């Protein structure tokens, strides 16, 4: 079994649970079944990298639909999970493609059907007993639906509200799958029977269990180690892409699961662009460099931001502005707890930043032109199976936070700043963001990235240290 597990390690993530992985995923599926109590169909991503269009030949690891990853651990394109709580045959069916040795020659081993051995291997690795050909899905679904006393079918698609209007994301695979299910139901005369299970699914998925927390901490440690090594070698770098290459290399040395997202390495004016992605500019020693980065471990993510002086030492204005942002971040961390909303954290954050800009910077004669009006962005977003998790319209911002939620804490400051301090004029375009990851607990929160240096003293000390 260990040999079989290793063979399929790229397409089955055990979440660090080992032998208990099959039971863990089965429990998750059963909880969803119990919560919804209806026939449900959930799709994975329909194709892997380079398979949709002729020109898209870039190969990279498959990034599975998070719902399928959460419920099965399967990191393979073109799979469908059918859950049927009312069936006397099987309450869960996994649909996969036919075994194709020629494709495996090019892209590696995959779960498949077509012979007894292949089916048995899928069963043994995933713990799901009923494995079928994905080409048979529509007919199986129709047959199972006919047997339902309550003519309901559940699936997952992304939707939220803007004001009083319900808005749906119609560009991803979940929407396309929804349309496919509607066509199937229409043939049964029940096209209005489709229900969105998104809300209940997220209620189950978003609170991290102990293994998720352990995996997140592992991701944070690897990310932090990469950052520390980068600071120790910062004197060697003259461009954003050199920083990116070194930092990402160090992070990937520690994890086979890839980056959480492409790193943002933004110097000077570039740091005032929130999602700056070029990473191709050189930088001067008097500039600040904003870094937004992180690595995955299993299916969990680190999402960290730090801002450092390219020279290795903050000038007086940089230090003043940096500590305004840091103070706001610490205020958010102190406020975050179960029952508080992220909107309240936003108020806490930006009230702190704006108050201290007036109290500290402007009162000392500083002048500024911000790239935004009162608030540049939200201070927090949910994290989990995705680096940005939860409903994409962020309706959760107004909901009381729950124990086990993982959130970002990322105040920022972006604009042009000028001040005279100690007889010297400082005039710079600066972007500062400091981001940590907070686990909501019964009594408050726990900063899972607390070991990653962020104070002025810590950063300057590391940047003055020569790497071994």
Exposure string for 329-343, b = 16+ CB within 10 A, e = fewer: bbbbbebbbbebebb
Q: Tens-digit pLDDT profile for the chain (468 aa)?
A: 567 767 888 899 999 999 999 999 999 999 999 999 999 999 999 876 545 444 444 455 667 899 999 999 999 999 999 999 999 899 999 999 999 999 889 888 999 999 999 999 999 999 999 999 999 999 999 999 999 988 999 999 998 887 788 888 898 899 999 999 999 998 887 767 899 999 999 999 999 999 999 999 999 999 999 999 999 999 999 999 999 999 999 999 999 999 999 999 999 999 999 999 999 999 999 999 999 999 999 999 999 999 999 999 999 999 999 999 999 999 999 999 999 999 999 999 999 999 999 999 999 999 999 999 989 999 999 999 999 999 888 989 999 999 999 999 999 999 999 999 999 999 999 999 999 999 999 899 999 999 999 999 999 999 998 766
CATH class as words, domain 2-205 = alpha beta
What is the Cα 156 distance to its own chain's centre? 18
The domain segmentation of the chain, as residue ranges, is 2-205, 210-463
Contact assessment for residue 283 and residue 267, using Cβ atoms and an 8 Å cutoff? yes
User: How many whole angstroms separate alpha carbon 112 and alpha carbon 119?
Assistant: 7
Contact 430, 272 (CB under 8 A): yes
Contact 459, 315 (CB under 8 A): no
Residue 462 half-sphere exposure, CB side, CA atoms within 13 Å? 22
| Burial degree of 139 (CB within 10 A; 0-12, 13-18, 19+) | exposed
Tokens coding 275: 């999602």
Strand (E) or helix (H) holding 97: none
- Say how far apart CA 291 and CA 245 lie, in whole Å: 12
What's the CATH code, domain 210-463? 3.90.230.10
Token match 């020569």: residue?
466
């Amino acid at each position: 079994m260990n040999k079989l597990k290793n063979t399929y390690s790229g397409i089955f993530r055990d979440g660090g649970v080992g032998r208990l992985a099959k039971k863990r995923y089965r429990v998750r599926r059963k909880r969803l079944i119990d919560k919804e109590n209806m026939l449900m169909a959930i799709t994975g991503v329909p194709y892997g990298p380079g398979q949709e269009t002729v020109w898209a030949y870039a190969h990279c690891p498959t990034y599975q639909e998070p719902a399928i990853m959460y419920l099965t651990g399967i990191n393979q394109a073109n799979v469908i999970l059918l859950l049927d709580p009312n069936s006397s045959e099987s309450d869960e069916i996994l649909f996969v493609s036919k075994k194709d040795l020629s494709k495996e020659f090019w892209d590696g081993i995959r779960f498949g059907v077509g012979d007894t051995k292949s089916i048995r291997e899928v069963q043994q690795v995933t713990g799901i007993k009923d494995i079928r050909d994905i080409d048979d899905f529509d007919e199986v679904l129709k047959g199972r639906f006919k047997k339902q006393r309550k003519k309901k079918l559940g699936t997952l698609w992304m939707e939220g509200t803007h004001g009083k209007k319900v808005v749906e994301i119609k560009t991803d695979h979940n929407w396309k799958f929804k349309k496919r299910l509607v066509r199937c139901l229409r043939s049964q005369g029940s096209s209005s029977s489709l229900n969105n299970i998104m809300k209940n699914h997220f209620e189950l998925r978003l609170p991290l269990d102990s293994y998720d927390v352990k995996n997140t901490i592992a991701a944070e440690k690897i990310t932090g180690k990469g950052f520390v090594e980068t600071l120790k070698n910062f004197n060697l770098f003259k461009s954003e892409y050199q920083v990116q290459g070194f930092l990402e290399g160090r992070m990937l040395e520690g994890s086979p699961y890839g980056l959480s997202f492409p790193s943002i390495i933004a110097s000077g004016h570039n740091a005032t662009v929130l999602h700056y992605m070029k990473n191709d500019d050189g930088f001067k020693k008097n500039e600040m460099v904003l870094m937004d980065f992180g690595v995955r471990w299993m299916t969990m993510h680190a999402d960290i931001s730090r801002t450092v002086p390219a020279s290795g030492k903050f000038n007086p204005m940089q230090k003043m502005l940096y500590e305004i942002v840091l103070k706001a971040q610490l205020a958010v961390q102190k406020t975050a707890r179960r029952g508080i909303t992220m909107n309240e954290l936003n108020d806490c954050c930006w009230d702190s930043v704006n108050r201290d800009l007036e109290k500290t910077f402007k009162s000392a004669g500083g002048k500024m032109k911000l790239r935004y009006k009162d608030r540049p962005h939200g201070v927090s977003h949910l994290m989990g199976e995705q680096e940005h998790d939860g409903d994409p319209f962020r309706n959760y911002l107004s909901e009381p936070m729950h124990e086990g939620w993982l959130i970002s804490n990322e105040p920022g400051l972006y604009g042009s700043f000028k001040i005279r301090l100690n007889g010297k004029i400082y005039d710079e375009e600066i972007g500062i963001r400091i981001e940590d990851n907070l686990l909501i607990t019964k009594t408050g929160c726990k900063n899972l990235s607390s070991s990653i240096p962020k104070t002025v003293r810590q950063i300057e000390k590391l940047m003055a240290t020569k790497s071994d």
